[in-house]
Amino acid sequence: MIRVLHRWPGLLAAALLVVIALSGAALSLFPAAETLTVPEVEAGLPVADLAQRIQNTYPGVEQIRRAPSGRITAYWFDNGTPGSAVIDPATGIRAASADPNATERWLTNLHRSLFLGDTGRIVSAIGAGALLVLTLSGMFLVARRTGGWRRWFTPLQGPLAGRLHVEVARIAIAGLLLSSVTGLWMTAATFELLPEGGSAPAFPADVSGSTGVALKAIPALQQTAVTSFRELSFPYAGDATDVFTLKTDAGTGYIDQGTGQLLVWSGLSAYERVSETVYMLHTGRGASLLGLVLGVMALGVPVMGGTGLLVWANGRLGRPRLRGNVAAGKAETILLVGSEGGSTWGFAATLQSALKAAGQQVHVAPMSSFAPGRYANARRIAVLAATYGDGDAPASAAGFLDKLRALDKAPGAPLAVLGFGDRSFPAFCAFAKQVEEAARAKGWPFLMPMDTVDRQSPQDFARWGRSFGAAAGVDLELNHQPQMPAATSLTLLSRRDYGAEVQAPAAILRFAIPQASLWARLTGRGFQTFKPGDLMGIVPEGSTLPRFYSLASGTEDGFAEIAVRKHPGGLCSGQLMNLQPGGSVRSFIRRNPDFHPGRGKAPLLLIGAGTGIGPLAGFIRSNASRRPVHLFFGARHPDSDFLYAEELAEWSRDGRVGRVEMAFSRGQPPIYVQDALLKDAAEVSRLIAEGARIMVCGGRGMARGVSESLTAILAPSGQTPAMLKAEDRYVEDVY
């Protein structure tokens, strides 16, 4: 819901907001420039002296004004000619022209009304309203993305466009909130939607009727310092009933031009003070530094507009074109799609075309437009749902669960639910499971049990398709080619070979990072940035399915490094083991945020075997903060397949890694990494008590053994590996 509140105002108002923000940013320069160039006033100078100096120079002076910047302007009428100038208060003589700056006036009119008068003011105000909605909804989205309000400034992951959007937002949000609220206030005041704050006091009925009091003999002008002065209007020449009008930051009063007595005084109301503060906060007039800060923050709007548009377009363009979509009321099969990045739409399109080929009438729609009342001819309904984050609805499924729960009666057509996800994430297909539970609670009949597709597996999808076809009474063969991120060619820089002597050939492969253009990085199309623990997908020749390897380096290291072991008959590992420096592979990055050491000072307990050392070595290499790290590493033989032996010795010397405990299965005596843990049980349990985070990487057998050892080690303290996993203190990357 919040995302909808963010997306639509953003898309609809983007161009308008860019115009308003850029003109606002430019306008913020004027008060600052004025403050810098304004002539100085001597401390404590009374208005009487200032007015006298000006009158000496310009006898026909009619009005003197002081701007919040301190700039003093005089207006006079001499020999039938009007004149005006910015005045140097020290001399009362002209210092600069008082004509309004044409550029500033142009920008102001653009900013507040787009040169369209009152209509434009309303459009501008709608822009300010949209900005307010965007900042408020954006705040919730930032908090959601970073994992809570207290983690507002935590570093971000993901494609550059989305990252840039949030990076800019979390700084600019404060300024945009202030500018939008004060802008709305000012528009409301202009259209008289706010109460009128105490206007000038009533004109005095009785005046002395005499004229000619000396300015210096007027007590009110003597007592008012120039710094709190705003405006002095002189009586109209020849009109004995007229008066001096004095405005200060405390109020407005009338002064008799014969006696110099203050006839009427009216102080500023609290409301007027609030209004003036709002005006100051919005324009920067009287607070030019704040104005500049707000101006800089406003510059974030075009950046957020552009990146926001890219984020939206990337999700949108990822959706394939559907041909021959049948109206909801006519279709026999309804396909409802819950997709975040767009890949689930690809599966839906494959399913739709296969059903169509089998003679079915199919209606495909996003889950968010779920409308069972319209499915008059539906014989079956299939929900294809991905998951966003830790079990939230993906973008195209917003509101589905609420609609389903609000139904009086479940639809009669039976339901099939297919979840899409990645089994290595804890919330695998969590949203699809919620849909299934909600449907069950509603009493919706099921066509078939819920099923899942792991990491866009075409095999999983084809298997489900056969069951679905059987249930629907059609022969369904689903041949889906998943959309993979565009692979980039990576060149091998160097390789180090291990393990030949122990019949377990392995290698550390170091690739050059390809240069990606800014546009490619913004749109998430090029080779993305990565950290140790992220995955490098490699598409072997002769296959479309990528294999994934844990990265042993980050972008900051300047190279992409993986540890590979040759699998008998393995297509990808075989090609990699034969790759020579200068050769290249097709590759892309897939993020693996759950397998990052994270920030914090708690010790890291790294456990791995074989090529599982790769990401662990990467964590140690990037441990510039010298966080305590303990490594338990299993290999076959110290002289053959001890990957990263030289680096570990060096990292140990410079403190990137503390203790390194080796376990060699072909040593004397043979020992496995899980045994090494048990041997060091006291130390391991001490580290866990200190809050250590455990990260395991390697084969499934090793991971199971490690888990058993940890179960034994933790038993005395009443903890289990499952409890640590629930606290996110025990993570695995196994294969």
Partner 1 sequence: MKSLLAALALTTALTLPSIASARPVTLTTTLKDYGGNGAYVALYVTDATGAYAGSLWMAGGKSKYYQHLSDWYRATNGNRAEIDGITGASVGAGRTLKITLDLADALFDAGYELHIDAAVEDMRDSPNEVAVPLTSAGAGKATRGRRYIDSFSYNF
**CA 494 to chain CA mean position, Å:** 37
DSSP state of 632: E
Which is closer to partner 1, CB of 249 or CB of 422? 249
Phi and psi, residue 586, nearest 5° = -90, 130
Total residues interacting with partner 1, rule: CB under 8 A = 25
Distance of closest approach, residue 19 Cβ to partner 1, in angstroms: 19
Distance of closest approach, residue 41 Cβ to partner 1, in angstroms: 21
Contact residues for 329 (Cβ-Cβ < 8 A; gap 6+): 374, 375, 376, 377
* Site map (CB under 8 A) of partner 1, residues 517-556, x = contact: ----------------------------------------
Which is closer to partner 1, CB of 39 or CB of 201? 201
Distance of closest approach, residue 84 Cβ to partner 1, in angstroms: 6
Distance of closest approach, residue 533 Cβ to partner 1, in angstroms: 60
**Interaction between residue 202 and partner 1 (CB under 8 A):** yes
Do the beta carbons of residue 314 and residue 162 sit within 8 Å? no
Which is closer to partner 1, CB of 9 or CB of 284? 284
Which is closer to partner 1, CB of 275 or CB of 343? 275
Which residue spans within 9-66 are E strands per DSSP?
61-66
Question: Which of 79, 199, 503, 625 touches partner 1 by CB under 8 A?
Answer: 199
Distance of closest approach, residue 100 Cβ to partner 1, in angstroms: 5
The Cα–Cα gap between 381 and 299 comes to: 48
Which is closer to partner 1, CB of 268 or CB of 660? 268
Distance of closest approach, residue 65 Cβ to partner 1, in angstroms: 9
Distance of closest approach, residue 132 Cβ to partner 1, in angstroms: 23
Phi and psi, residue 627, nearest 5° = -65, 145
- Three-state DSSP at 312 gives helix
**Interaction between residue 268 and partner 1 (CB under 8 A):** no
Q: Over the Cα atoms of the chain, what is R_g?
A: 36
- From the list 307, 370, 301, the residue with the least C-alpha distance to 335 is 370
Which is closer to partner 1, CB of 193 or CB of 715? 193
Using CB under 8 A as the binding rule, the residues of this chain from 89 to 128 that contact partner 1 are 99-100, 102, 105, 109, 117-118
Which is closer to partner 1, CB of 99 or CB of 475? 99
Distance of closest approach, residue 202 Cβ to partner 1, in angstroms: 6
**Interaction between residue 273 and partner 1 (CB under 8 A):** no
Which is closer to partner 1, CB of 84 or CB of 575? 84
DSSP string, 510-554: EEEPPP--HHHHHTT-SPPP--TT-EEEEE-TT-SS-EEEEBSS-
Distance of closest approach, residue 119 Cβ to partner 1, in angstroms: 12
Edge-first strand order for the sheet with 61-66 is 93-96, 81-88, 72-78, 61-66, 229-233, 243-248, 251-256, 262-267
* Site map (CB under 8 A) of partner 1, residues 132-171, x = contact: ----------------------------------------
Distance of closest approach, residue 80 Cβ to partner 1, in angstroms: 8
- From the list 682, 634, 685, 623, the residue with the least C-alpha distance to 658 is 623
Burial of 670 from C-beta contacts in 10 A (0-12 / 13-18 / 19+): exposed
Question: Which of 180, 245, 360, 709 touches partner 1 by CB under 8 A?
Answer: 245
Q: Which residue has the tokens 């099939």?
A: 416
Distance of closest approach, residue 131 Cβ to partner 1, in angstroms: 24
Do the beta carbons of residue 510 and residue 492 sit within 8 Å? yes
Which range in 28-36, 75-83, 205-213, 351-359 contacts partner 1 by CB under 8 A? 75-83
Which range in 197-205, 523-531, 554-562, 690-698 contacts partner 1 by CB under 8 A? 197-205
Do the beta carbons of residue 681 and residue 717 sit within 8 Å? no
**Interaction between residue 63 and partner 1 (CB under 8 A):** yes
**Interaction between residue 317 and partner 1 (CB under 8 A):** no
Which is closer to partner 1, CB of 86 or CB of 609? 86
* Site map (CB under 8 A) of partner 1, residues 221-240, x = contact: ------------x--x----
Which is closer to partner 1, CB of 201 or CB of 320? 201
Do the beta carbons of residue 696 and residue 733 sit within 8 Å? yes
Which is closer to partner 1, CB of 237 or CB of 313? 237
Which is closer to partner 1, CB of 187 or CB of 434? 187
Distance of closest approach, residue 81 Cβ to partner 1, in angstroms: 9
The tokens describing 292, both together, are 């500049």
Which is closer to partner 1, CB of 108 or CB of 555? 108
Question: Which of 33, 147, 188, 196 touches partner 1 by CB under 8 A?
Answer: 196
Bridge-based pairing of strands 243-248 and 506-512 is unpaired
DSSP string, 451-512: EEEETT-HHHHHHHHHHHHHHHTS-------PPPPPPEEEEEEEEEEE-GGGT--EEEEEEE
Taking CA atoms, 185 is separated from 24, 132, 179, 213, 508, in Å, by 16, 12, 10, 42, 63
- From the list 534, 497, 496, 498, the residue with the least C-alpha distance to 513 is 534
Cα distance from N-terminal residue to C-terminal residue, the chain: 38
Distance of closest approach, residue 294 Cβ to partner 1, in angstroms: 21
Q: Which residue has the tokens 């297919």?
A: 418
Phi and psi, residue 474, nearest 5° = -130, 155
Cβ-based neighbour number of residue 24 at 10 Å: 27
Distance of closest approach, residue 558 Cβ to partner 1, in angstroms: 56
**Interaction between residue 211 and partner 1 (CB under 8 A):** no
The answer to whether the Cα torsion of 702, 708, 713, 719 is positive or negative is positive
Question: Which of 40, 192, 206, 646 touches partner 1 by CB under 8 A?
Answer: 192
Burial of 390 from C-beta contacts in 10 A (0-12 / 13-18 / 19+): exposed
Which is closer to partner 1, CB of 207 or CB of 607? 207
Residue type, 501: E
Question: Which of 23, 28, 55, 84 touches partner 1 by CB under 8 A?
Answer: 84
Question: Which of 29, 32, 77, 211 touches partner 1 by CB under 8 A?
Answer: 77
Which range in 183-191, 290-298, 439-447, 650-658 contacts partner 1 by CB under 8 A? 183-191
The Cα–Cα gap between 40 and 678 comes to: 78
Distance of closest approach, residue 24 Cβ to partner 1, in angstroms: 18
Which is closer to partner 1, CB of 77 or CB of 140? 77
**Interaction between residue 189 and partner 1 (CB under 8 A):** yes
Which is closer to partner 1, CB of 210 or CB of 489? 210
**Interface contacts to partner 1, rule CB under 8 A:** 62-63, 75, 77, 82, 84, 99-100, 102, 105, 109, 117-118, 189-192, 196, 199-200, 202-203, 233, 236, 245
